[in-house]
């Protein structure tokens, strides 16, 4: 618990930056105990205190390319150089340590502490196999040397440790950094050994020969040279991840590369460190009382932030599942503002001990949906309220049921308006029947008015009445009619997706559609027959079987057929005429000149490709028409996306 910080790094850094800006503008306000005048405190009395040979300063932080350019400009000013070479390396997220070797022997290991004085953890450090007890520094004329590094736990090791702890009924660890720093200060070195810790050394802060003569910037000339030296002496270093960059443009490009690379890298990183490579130039830059001027930490877009849980909404899904959704104070994270987050189910709330009014830690990495990591119990003031999961459906008032062995509470009422709403929203969605002009808010309105009781009602709307509603004109009614009319001719895989059969998404629906002449054939298939279809597992087969053996569902299909919704597998619907675009993803933007949006979609699908709805790292090709806007800008920032003209796209599919 002692190692768990009260506020997140990003919050701390933001506050620290604000404070420093304020102090820069009003120097008279700077007090001697301002956090800007020294680095974080954090000593317990349990370990002997030792003074570092050279103070361990923190690094100045930057969050964007402009900060890096600014840093480069200052370095050039301080050194009087036209060009400066930088060493750029990932900043491992662990616990900082300083090691001292004398006469080739490890004589001391210390935590960072307050930067000047740390805790002596030599006994625990000796338990780590990645810290050599002796290293051949004398071969390089070095008598005493102080090294800086980070004790980390690799991601896969951390997961394994948590798996084992879960197995043993122990509390799992929240993150690897706190676990590393906590483990380093355990009383029993044997216990330390069991935590999978590794030391990575990334800096030489002090080096003298037998005559106590300083070797830094006189004999040891570059940062990169020092890392090579440590590597040769048997230490783990970031030598493989490190890059020498000739100028700030190369630095920025390398930083960008790591924004995505870090997600798959096996060590947690919270940013990159940019250092002046030449040690003489480092000396010329010097340091402030808080940070060196020759290095800067570049922080990746924050993955975690704190917010307050304001309220919980209970949403009823199309299968009747009731999902608690947390409404939180809006918080910006990894480029988006987050104000609501799914809490999954009642057990999730109980396990995480979440209360109304709690401070919650929110995490979002890359494309991942944001989730609540946990609550900060230390910040509770007693006003937090226990969460009582509802006993009845928030939409229709029916009593909720929770089938045994399931974590989900459900509304079992077939006529529940909230379920109908969700079923219809799913039915008209882009991946399903793709009905233009019938959006979420219109559906909710029509359900309330009683126009839409289920999917088939879409084809029997009271247009004369709708025409008279506020906000509806002749044109919007015509558009709606046309959108609904054109959905009647869709291929059956769309209908199979739209029906909302549990576990049946687009891919499964396509697999299914190839095996029948019309959808009613599924009525006569048993689960075993269904499992013989490629791509259909037993769980999916069972749910398809159940769906087509429910009288209400068959009645729904018959009604849809009466409304002339296509239920036949027609020759022209054959999916993927060839596999030219197999595994490739596409998105179209701008105003297309040579074909319509619908035709473009069709061409991609006929050739085995997949359409995406937005720009992300999953996208392979962005096809641009005229006046392409934000999607193009966004795509250009992701180096793996190829931008195509309409002609280039046509050439691609021949």
Instruction: Name the residues annotated as catalytic.
Output: 91
> Is residue 411 exposed (0-12), middle (13-18) or buried (19+ Cβ within 10 Å)?
buried
CA distances from 182 to 160, 195, 437, 480 (A): 18, 10, 57, 61
Q: Site residues (CB under 5 A) for Zn ion?
A: 393, 395-396, 398, 411, 413, 416
Q: What is the C-alpha separation between 554 and 548, in angstroms, rounded? A: 7
∠269-157-97 over CA atoms, to 5°? Answer: 55
Q: Are strands 49-51 and 197-208 parallel, antiparallel or unpaired?
A: unpaired
Contact status, residue 95 vs residue 180, Cβ threshold 8 Å: yes
Q: Report the residue number, 196 or 417, with the smaller CB distance to Zn ion.
A: 417
What is the smallest separation between the CB atom of 417 and Zn ion, expressed in angstroms?
A: 7
Q: Are strands 322-333 and 336-342 parallel, antiparallel or unpaired?
A: antiparallel
Q: Report the residue number, 393 or 425, with the smaller CB distance to Zn ion.
A: 393
What is the smallest separation between the CB atom of 400 and Zn ion, expressed in angstroms?
A: 8
What is the smallest separation between the CB atom of 552 and Zn ion, expressed in angstroms?
A: 16
Q: Which long-range contacts (CB under 8 A, 24 or more apart) does 132-138 make?
A: 132/106, 132/233, 132/234, 132/235, 133/105, 133/106, 134/101, 134/104, 134/105, 134/106, 135/101, 135/104, 135/106, 135/233, 135/234, 135/235, 136/104, 136/233, 137/101, 137/104, 137/233, 138/103, 138/104
What is the smallest separation between the CB atom of 412 and Zn ion, expressed in angstroms?
A: 8
What is the smallest separation between the CB atom of 553 and Zn ion, expressed in angstroms?
A: 18
Q: Report the residue number, 201 or 411, with the smaller CB distance to Zn ion.
A: 411
What is the length of the chain? 654
CB neighbour list of residue 624: distance below 8 Å, 6 or more residues apart: 588, 589, 590, 632, 643, 644, 645, 646
Nearest to 317 by CA among 255, 390, 395: 395
Q: Report the residue number, 354 or 416, with the smaller CB distance to Zn ion.
A: 416
What is the smallest separation between the CB atom of 15 and Zn ion, expressed in angstroms?
A: 45
CA 257 to chain centre: 16
Q: Report the residue number, 351 or 399, with the smaller CB distance to Zn ion.
A: 399
Structure tokens of 364? 């979002």
Nearest to 123 by CA among 189, 28, 32: 189
Contact status, residue 29 vs residue 19, Cβ threshold 8 Å: no
Placement of tokens 């954090």 in the chain: 42
Q: Report the residue number, 179 or 395, with the smaller CB distance to Zn ion.
A: 395
Q: Report the residue number, 377 or 401, with the smaller CB distance to Zn ion.
A: 401
Structure tokens of 234? 């048997």
Nearest to 93 by CA among 177, 149, 172, 171: 177
Nearest to 74 by CA among 243, 296, 223, 251: 296
Half-sphere exposure of 599 (CA within 13 A, CB side): 8
Q: Are strands 621-624 and 585-589 parallel, antiparallel or unpaired?
A: parallel
What is the smallest separation between the CB atom of 426 and Zn ion, expressed in angstroms?
A: 16
What is the smallest separation between the CB atom of 452 and Zn ion, expressed in angstroms?
A: 16
Contact status, residue 272 vs residue 242, Cβ threshold 8 Å: no
Structure tokens of 211? 């005559």
Q: Report the residue number, 262 or 318, with the smaller CB distance to Zn ion.
A: 318
Q: Report the residue number, 68 or 393, with the smaller CB distance to Zn ion.
A: 393
Q: Are strands 371-375 and 243-245 parallel, antiparallel or unpaired?
A: unpaired
What is the smallest separation between the CB atom of 321 and Zn ion, expressed in angstroms?
A: 11
Contact status, residue 204 vs residue 220, Cβ threshold 8 Å: yes
Q: Report the residue number, 265 or 389, with the smaller CB distance to Zn ion.
A: 389
Q: What is the C-alpha separation between 332 and 337, in angstroms, rounded? A: 4
Host H or E run for residue 145: strand 144-153
Residue 309, beta-bridge partner list = 328
What is the smallest separation between the CB atom of 43 and Zn ion, expressed in angstroms?
A: 57
Q: What is the C-alpha separation between 138 and 135, in angstroms, rounded? A: 8
Q: Report the residue number, 396 or 506, with the smaller CB distance to Zn ion.
A: 396
What is the smallest separation between the CB atom of 411 and Zn ion, expressed in angstroms?
A: 3
Q: What is the dihedral of CA 297, 298, 304, 305, to 10 degrees?
A: 80
């Amino acid at each position: 618990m002692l190692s768990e910080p009260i506020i997140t790094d990003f919050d701390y850094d933001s506050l620290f930056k604000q404070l420093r800006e304020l102090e820069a503008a009003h120097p008279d306000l700077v007090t001697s105990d301002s956090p800007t005048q020294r680095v974080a405190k954090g000593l317990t009395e349990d370990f002997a205190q030792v003074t570092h040979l050279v103070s361990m300063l923190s690094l100045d932080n930057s969050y964007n390319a402009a900060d890096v350019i600014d840093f480069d400009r200052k370095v050039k000013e301080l050194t009087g150089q036209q060009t400066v070479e930088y060493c750029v390396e990932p900043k491992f997220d662990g616990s900082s340590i300083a090691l001292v070797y004398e006469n080739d022997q490890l004589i001391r290991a210390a935590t960072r502490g307050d930067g000047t004085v740390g805790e002596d953890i030599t006994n625990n450090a000796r338990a780590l196999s990645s810290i050599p007890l002796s290293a051949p520094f004398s071969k390089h004329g070095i008598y005493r040397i102080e090294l800086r590094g980070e004790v980390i736990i690799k991601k896969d090791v951390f997961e394994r440790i948590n798996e084992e702890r879960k197995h043993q009924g122990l509390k799992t660890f929240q993150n690897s950094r706190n676990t590393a720093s906590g483990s380093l200060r355990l009383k029993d070195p044997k216990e330390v050994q069991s935590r999978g810790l590794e030391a990575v050394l990334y800096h030489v802060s002090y080096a003298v020969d037998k005559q106590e003569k300083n070797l830094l910037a006189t004999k040891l000339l570059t940062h990169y040279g020092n890392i090579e030296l440590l590597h040769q002496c048997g230490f783990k270093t970031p030598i493989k991840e490190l890059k020498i960059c000739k100028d700030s443009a190369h630095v920025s490009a390398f930083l960008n590369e790591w924004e995505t690379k870090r997600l798959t890298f096996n060590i947690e990183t919270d940013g990159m460190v940019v250092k002046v490579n030449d040690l003489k130039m480092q000396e010329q830059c010097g340091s402030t009382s808080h940070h060196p001027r020759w290095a800067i930490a570049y922080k990746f877009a924050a993955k975690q932030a704190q917010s307050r849980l304001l309220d919980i909404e209970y949403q009823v899904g199309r299968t009747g599942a009731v999902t608690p959704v947390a409404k939180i104070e809006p918080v910006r994270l990894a480029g988006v503002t987050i104000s609501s987050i799914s809490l999954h189910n009642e057990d999730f709330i109980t396990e995480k001990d979440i209360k109304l009014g709690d401070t919650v830690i929110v995490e979002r990495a890359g494309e991942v949906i944001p989730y609540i990591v946990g609550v900060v119990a230390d910040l509770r003031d007693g006003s937090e309220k226990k969460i009582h999961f509802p006993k009845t459906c928030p939409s229709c008032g029916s009593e909720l049921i929770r089938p045994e062995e399931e974590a989900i509470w459900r509304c079992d009422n077939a006529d529940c308006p909230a379920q109908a709403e969700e079923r219809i929203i799913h039915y008209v969605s882009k991946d399903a029947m793709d009905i233009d002009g019938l959006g979420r808010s219109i559906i909710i309105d029509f359900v309330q008015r009683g126009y839409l009781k289920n999917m088939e009602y879409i084809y029997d709307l009271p247009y004369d009445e709708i025409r008279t509603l506020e906000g509806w004109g002749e044109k919007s009614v015509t558009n709606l009619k046309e959108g609904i009319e054109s959905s009647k001719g869709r291929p059956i895989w769309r209908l199979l997706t739209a029906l909302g059969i549990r576990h049946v998404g687009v891919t499964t629906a396509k697999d299914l559609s190839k095996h029948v002449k019309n959808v009613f054939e599924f009525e006569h298939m048993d689960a075993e027959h269904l499992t013989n279809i490629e791509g259909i597992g037993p769980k999916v087969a069972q749910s398809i079987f159940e769906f087509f053996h429910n009288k209400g569902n068959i009645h729904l299909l018959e009604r849809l057929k009466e409304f002339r919704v296509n239920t036949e597998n027609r020759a022209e619907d054959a999916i993927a005429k060839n596999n030219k675009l197999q595994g490739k993803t596409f998105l179209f933007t701008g105003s297309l000149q040579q074909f319509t949006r619908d035709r473009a979609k069709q061409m991609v699908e006929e050739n085995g490709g997949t359409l995406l709805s937005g720009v992300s790292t999953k996208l392979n090709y962005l096809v641009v028409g005229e006046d392409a806007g934000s999607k193009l800008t966004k795509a250009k920032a992701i180096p793996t996306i190829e931008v195509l003209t309409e002609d280039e796209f046509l050439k691609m599919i021949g």
